[in-house]
Amino acid sequence: MEERGNISIHTENIFPIIKKFLYSDHEIFLRELVSNAVDATQKIKRLSSIGEYKGELGELKVKVAVNKDAKTITISDNGLGMTAEEIKKYINQIAFSGATEFVERYKDASADKDQIIGQFGLGFYSAFMVAERVEIITKSYQEGAEPARWECDGSTEFSITTAERAERGTDVILHIAQDSEEFLETARIRTILDKYCKFLPVPVEFEGETINNPSPIWTKQPSELKDEDYKEFYKELYPFSEPPLFWIHLNVDYPFNLTGILYFPKVKNEFEIQRNKIQLYSRQVFITDEVKDVVPEFLMLLHGVIDSPDIPLNVSRSFLQADSSVKKINTYITKKVADKLAEIFRKDRETFEKNWDDISVFVKYGMLSDDKFYEKAKDFVLLQNTEGKYHTLEEYKNLVQANQTNKSEQLVLLYTTDADKQHAFVEAAQNRGYDVLKLDSIIDSHFIGLLEQKLEKTTLKRVDSETIDKLIEKDEAKESVLSEGEKEELKKVYEEAINNKNMTVDVAPLAPDDAPVVITLPEFMRRMKDMNRAGGGGMMFMGEMPDMYNVTINANHPLNQRVLKAEEKGQLARQAFDLALLSQNMLSGAALTTFVKRSFELMTKA
């Protein structure tokens, strides 16, 4: 007996629209059909567990088979199966009352296709993106049920006939269209299965082997797992990555369902390279690795998986839809990460310090982008000084407060962005008993501003932004061995010798053992240029402005007293200035050649 009919969609335009608009990536058809088979398998298992199905379950699994000669892909399960009536109910009645509106909407190719499709239960029909004809051969688990065959060629017409099938379950047979024959390649199918079906909760067999892990560790309780289990799972996810530093097991069932494992990888400062490493699943079906709405931006460098049936997806299950539950999940993840970091710091500070270079970028980025995270992280964020020692904010404040508070009662934190290049300035600060921090990562230019904003009566200065006396100004006035007239003359000599309008010359009484000439770039200007280079601050013009340096001539240095008495004052002054440039790697090209020649001349005269 054969029954023929029309799929109730009120129009013949529906299938071309499905094929063109349902999913942006046609490979999704396999995820949808395998997921349906898994659902059917889980349902029979559930019915058996509550006594509604009393037959033998057998080995529950889903099979995917490719026949290149017949140009077919078959997805088979031994799940619930369907009666002919159920086929008509679940397969044919796809549009219910809204099909006309659906078609009208999609006459416009620019319409928001992802907003509406899922309302019509079209997951099965993704098959028609790659198949010119689809068959379903199925037998229901219900006692006495007749096997049935459903067939459709992508038009609105279908046929239902009786079929031969001994066991309960369903075969979906796709007769692949000519323009989709790439999906008949076994390597292509294996890649798709590995991407979307790797952790489905029912074994999926392809070419005689099970290709998935039905019980990934995020589905288990943390108490069941050992450290080695987490490390092995990380290796399964990222076979070519270094082992993770540590991990966080997410497991919550109220006010939303969420499980998962987030790993802290070794990332150093590689901001962009590591992104898109968190995979989002819904009931163990892979959805996407674009998780920016679920996971806070600052944690996008983490690796791992998140699984939640409560995360709202668009109807093609390919993208997230932002809503209040996503925001709650985002907040929860932020709190869990902060709590885990605080716990590690509290229980094992030595390990925390050892891993700090790798995790500092997460912590600082989080403090910059989330006030609640800042409040938690301020107790475990670490500052490292040039001696390699680590301090919390409070510890560091207590360490330097007595010696590094200026005459305005401001605490001045000194830092270097390149300890080797700025060595002379670091050494000068240390000779005064000051401590110098290392703030040399990509994010530190922003982190410095955050600290000044959050910490009361505190300012940060780079060690080469001022002479040592001006970095932390005290009430101690230094005497100059030069008269006012001599200082004016010395200033004029240097201005003429330097002959550069971007260099502002000043004569000041520094300590006799300080450098004779000190070249500094003011903190404000350097910060503006740094922020401009980083793409922030809104002061793009700063990047085009030349560097405006301050040149401080040490009135108390014996060399400058000699300059005033020398016959060739300008030559000696230029030599001292070039030495200051050389000490900061600011001398090159013709200027360096001239300096070397002048050095030999002065040595010969001596």
What predicted TM-score, i.e. pTM, was given to this entire model? 0.74
* Helices then strands, each counted (H, E), the chain: 21, 22
Q: What is the CA radius of gyration of the chain?
A: 36
How far apart (Å, rounded) are the C-alpha atoms in residues 9 and 543? Answer: 61
Per-residue burial over 477-501, b if 16 or more Cβ lie within 10 Å, else e, is eeeeebeeebbebbbebbbebbeee
DSSP conformation letters of 335-373: HHHHHHHHHHHHH-HHHHHHTHHHHHHHHHHHHHH-HHH
CA angle, corner 232, sides to 230 and 238, nearest 5? 100
The pLDDT, as a whole number, for residue 7 is 57
The pLDDT of residue 106 is above 50? no
The pLDDT of residue 538 is above 60? no
Q: Mean pLDDT across the stretch 106-128?
A: 50
DSSP conformation letters of 226-271: -HHHHHHHHHHH-TTSPPPSEEEEEEE-SSS-EEEEEEE---TT-T
Q: Is 283 annotated as a binding residue?
A: no
DSSP 540: T
Q: Any residues with CB less than 8 A from the CB of 152 and at least 6 apart, and which?
A: 7, 133, 134, 158, 159
Q: Is 270 annotated as a binding residue?
A: no
List pLDDT tens digits, range 382-402: 999 999 999 999 999 999 999
Q: Mean pLDDT across the stretch 142-164?
A: 89
- Residues of the chain with pLDDT > 70, as a percent, come to 84
* Two structure tokens written together for 172: 């979906």
* Two structure tokens written together for 431: 């000779």
Q: Is 583 annotated as a binding residue?
A: no
Q: Is 567 annotated as a binding residue?
A: no
Distances from the Cα of 285 to the Cα of 39, 138, 305, 317, 471, angstroms: 11, 24, 11, 10, 58
- CA nearest neighbour of 211 among 32, 27, 60, 62: 62
Asked whether the beta carbons of 441 and 368 are under 8 A apart, the reply is no
List pLDDT tens digits, range 33-46: 999 899 899 999 99
The pLDDT, as a whole number, for residue 341 is 94
Asked whether the beta carbons of 545 and 587 are under 8 A apart, the reply is no
Q: Is 120 annotated as a binding residue?
A: yes
- Give the torsion through C-alpha atoms of 60, 62, 66, 67, to 10 deg: 40
| Greater pLDDT, 416 or 546 | 416
Residue 265 binned pLDDT confidence (cut-offs 50, 70, 90) = confident
The pLDDT of residue 530 is above 80? no
Asked whether the beta carbons of 428 and 580 are under 8 A apart, the reply is no
How far apart (Å, rounded) are the C-alpha atoms in residues 469 and 480? Answer: 14
Q: Is 317 annotated as a binding residue?
A: yes
Q: Mean pLDDT across the stretch 280-298?
A: 84
How far apart (Å, rounded) are the C-alpha atoms in residues 381 and 366? Answer: 11
The pLDDT of residue 339 is above 70? yes
Q: Is 98 annotated as a binding residue?
A: yes
List pLDDT tens digits, range 173-229: 999 999 999 999 999 999 999 999 999 999 999 999 999 999 999 999 999 999 999
Q: Mean pLDDT across the stretch 504-518?
A: 89
φ/ψ (deg, to 5) at 204:
-115, 120
The pLDDT, as a whole number, for residue 354 is 93
Least confident of 11-15, 517-521, 562-566, 579-583: 11-15
Least confident of 21-30, 165-174, 295-304, 566-575: 21-30
Asked whether the beta carbons of 184 and 176 are under 8 A apart, the reply is yes
How far apart (Å, rounded) are the C-alpha atoms in residues 398 and 411? Answer: 11
How far apart (Å, rounded) are the C-alpha atoms in residues 377 and 367? Answer: 7
Q: Is 77 annotated as a binding residue?
A: yes
Omega of the bond leading into 522 within 30 degrees of 0 (cis) = no
- CA nearest neighbour of 455 among 404, 498, 490: 404
The pLDDT, as a whole number, for residue 91 is 74
Q: Is 123 annotated as a binding residue?
A: yes
Q: Which domains does the chain carry?
A: 13-210 (3.30.565.10), 217-347 (3.30.230.80), 382-471 (3.40.50.11260), 485-519+546-605 (1.20.120.790)
List pLDDT tens digits, range 137-150: 999 999 989 999 99
Chain-centre distance of CA 38, in angstroms?
32
- CA nearest neighbour of 317 among 275, 293, 292, 283: 283
The pLDDT, as a whole number, for residue 473 is 87
Residue 460 identity (one-letter amino acid) = L
Number of Cβ atoms within 10 Å of the Cβ of 289: 13
The pLDDT of residue 353 is above 90? yes
Residue 240 binned pLDDT confidence (cut-offs 50, 70, 90) = confident
The pLDDT, as a whole number, for residue 458 is 94
- CA nearest neighbour of 383 among 366, 402, 397, 365: 397
List pLDDT tens digits, range 364-387: 999 999 999 999 999 999 999 999
The pLDDT of residue 346 is above 60? yes
The pLDDT of residue 102 is above 50? no
Q: Any residues with CB less than 8 A from the CB of 578 and at least 6 apart, and which?
A: 587, 591, 595, 598
List pLDDT tens digits, range 465-506: 888 888 898 877 778 888 999 999 999 999 999 999 889 999
Q: Is 170 annotated as a binding residue?
A: yes
Q: What is the mean pLDDT of the chain?
A: 84
The pLDDT, as a whole number, for residue 535 is 56
The CB-side HSE value for 309 (13 A sphere, CA atoms) comes to 6
Q: Mean pLDDT across the stretch 522-529?
A: 78
| Greater pLDDT, 94 or 474 | 474
Q: Is 82 annotated as a binding residue?
A: yes
